[in-house]
Amino acid sequence: MLARIYVTPKKAILDPQGKAIAHSLHALNYAEVADVRMGKYLEVRLHGLSRAQAEQRIDEMCRRLLANLVIEDFRFELVEE
């Protein structure tokens, strides 16, 4: 099973990288860009777990290491391979 994990800066946290990217997109005349937030994407391959177990374990991994909940939010999806 594959977990696709998205870690993004919290809404309340200033994201200067996202801002710089938005400015660059505007410079390329993409005037429709309202906002950019930049985060991380991780793929974690699991073995030997049921879907429910995987859900619980990945959630725990995110809270304990993969995301810093002071500054980041996370979400993930599980994909059967």
Partner 1 sequence: MKWGVVTFPGSLDDRDALYGLGTVLGQQAVSLWHKDRDLQGVEAVVLPGGFSYGDYLRCGAIARLSPIMQSVVDFADAGGPVLGMCNGFQILCESGLLPGALVRNRSLSFVCEWTRVRVETTRTRFTAGCNVGEILRIPIKHGEGCYVADQATLATLEDKGRVVFRYVNEAGEATEAANPNGALRNIAGVTNAKGNVVGLMPHPEHAVEALLGSEDGRKLFLSVLAR
Q: Which range, of 15-23, 29-37, 52-60, 73-81, touches partner 1 by CB under 8 A?
A: 15-23
Q: Helix, strand or coil for residue 59? A: helix
Contacts (CB under 8 A) with partner 1, residues 60-79: 65-66, 68, 70-71
- Give yes or no for residue 17 binding partner 1 (CB under 8 A): yes
**CB neighbour burial string for 8-18, b if at least 16 within 10 angstroms, e if fewer:** bbeeeeebeeb
Stretch that binds partner 1, among 11-19, 29-37, 49-57, 73-81 (CB under 8 A): 11-19
- Quick check: helix, strand or coil at residue 64? helix
